[in-house]
Structure 1
Amino acid sequence: MSRQWSRSTGTREALLRTAREVFLAKGYGEATVADIVETSGISVGSLYHHFGGKPGLFLALWEEFMHSQEERTSRAAKAAAGTGERFLAGARAYLEGSWEQRDVARLFLENDGPAEFGVLRRHRGWDWIGGNKKLLGLDGSRRSHILVVLLTTVMGESGREVAACESEKEALITIDAVIDVVRRMLDTAPDVAGASPAG
């Protein structure tokens, strides 16, 4: 049984690796199941068994990327002291991950995925808003809601900007600029625990 599980896991990982290469080379819309099967050497039946088709492969790659971003962000936030500083540490980690995984990040920013991708991305955005609200210790007021929506939107769009950078130097300058803007937003928000008063 464990040998079967190992073979199954290996097949799944090989398909994901190959799909990533093919999607990056051709884009989601132009890539075909035949391209992935031919490049991987794995049967079309196995692809459909594990992922249900091309959309399932794309969404599995996206989930992998998002999971790694969430883990990276969470680790960085937990290591910092103070609510505002935890958010900033998590924000920096998220942006650094957008640069380090820029090839796949760009793939997900192109709006070139399966039809259900937009809906899943919106749901994940709502999850991030809820997580950020909790991290910042915000109450249920409309003002707090707007603040966390703005911060989360800024981070999402900034991840796109970082992933689109042409060099590491440009990425680092962009990350520092985003963190400065986000710090200013937090500094003017008296309802964020640990934020310094605006001065």
Structure 2
Amino acid sequence: MSPRQRRGEQTRERLLAAALDLYAEKGADGFTMTAVTATSGVSVGSLYHHFGSFDGLAAALYARCLSDLLDAVIAALDAVPQGREGGPRDGTEARAAAGVRAVVTGYLGFTREHTAAARFVHASAYADFLAAHEDLIAEEKEPRLAGILGWLRPYIRAGLVVGLPDELIEMLVVGPVAETARRWLAGAPGIDLDEASRLLPERIWRSLRAAEAPMAR
């Protein structure tokens, strides 16, 4: 990387860091181009050079935060102990169950530990700026999501996890966790992440477990 490229990357990082800090501190109302450039010390012209627009900056920040969230989930999956593929059914199912539980706890753990990033992801999920930058979002999201779903696919083929379209598998695994995180981030009463981390993994696994499979012990 040339010195010029390095400086450009550093400028991008300063803008993204300032944007996330501002959103965490002041919320959507304080998340403005004027505030970001003032906080970062980067000019408006430089912001436009690197991101095309303030919406482009917001989309890049969303992509970054979402990638970090999904990477945390993937890391939790990678930490699941290896089992013997093709081994005893109970052992293989136990690993499938452990993977589903890892997705849930990894997602909720990221939400607790990186609250600002999680809040930006959930608050921006239906923001207008995403539609104009859907290619950028897909570039970060799709391979990571495919990796998570791909982890489960052998267990679907083995008849241990219910065979549904990927989109519905995603809803069963991620949907309840994302909604729990969204409500916790919004300060909804009655939502406790520790309790959710304790209770949701088993319930979500049961929703994915093939009906004819024996319960894992």
Q: CA deviation at 1:34?
A: 1.6
**1:17-36 → structure 2 map (5 Å cutoff):** 17-28=17-28, 31-36=31-36
1:30 shift after superposition:
5.1
For 1:106 and 1:69, the matched residues in 2 are separated by 11
- Aligned residue pairs: how many? 191
**Cα separation, 1, equivalents of 2:186 and 2:214:** 32
Within 2, Cα distance between the matches of 1:64 and 1:31? 17
- Mapped partners of 2:3, 2:119: distance in 1: 36
Distance 1:134 1:173, change over 3 A: same
After superposition, the Cα gap between the structure-2 partners of 1:97 and 1:84, relative to the gap in structure 1 and judged at 3 Å, is same
Calculate the TM-score normalised by the size of structure 2: 0.71
Work out the CA distance in 1 between the residues paired with 2:74 and 2:27. Answer: 30
Give aligned-pair identity as a percent: 25
Output the aligned Cα RMSD: 3.4
Tell me which residue corresponds to 1:7. 7
| In structure 2, distance between residues paired with 1:181 and 1:147 | 14
| Match of residue 106 from structure 2 | 93
Q: Check conservation: 1:129, 1:152, Cα contact below 8 A.
A: no
Distance 2:110 2:180 in 1: 12
Offset of residue 25 of structure 1? 3.4
Please show how residues 117-132 of structure 1 align to structure 2 within 5 Å.
117=130, 120=134, 130-132=146-148
Deviation at 1:44, TM superposition (A): 0.8
CA separation of 1:162 and 1:114: change in aligned 2, threshold 3 A = closer
What are the equivalent positions in structure 2 for 1:42-121 lying under 5 Å apart?
42-81=42-81, 82-111=95-124, 114-117=127-130, 120=134
Say whether the 8 Å CA contact 1:91–1:179 is kept in structure 2.
yes
Structure 2: tracts of 5 or more residues without a match: 82-94
**Structure 1 residues 141-177: Cα deviation after superposition (integer angstroms, max 9, x where no partner):** x9523454322322321332444469xx932122212
User: 1:50-90 deviations in whole A, cap 9, x for unaligned?
Assistant: 11122112111111112112222112212214222122112
Structure 1: distance between partners of 2:202 and 2:141? 22
Structure 1 window deviating more from structure 2 (149-158 vs 103-112): it is 103-112
Matches within 5 A, 1:117-196: 117=130, 120=134, 130-137=146-153, 138=156, 144-145=164-165, 146-164=168-186, 170-187=192-209, 189-190=210-211, 196=214
Q: Separation in 1 of the partners of 2:112 and 2:123?
A: 16
Contact 1:99 1:171 in 2 (8 A): yes
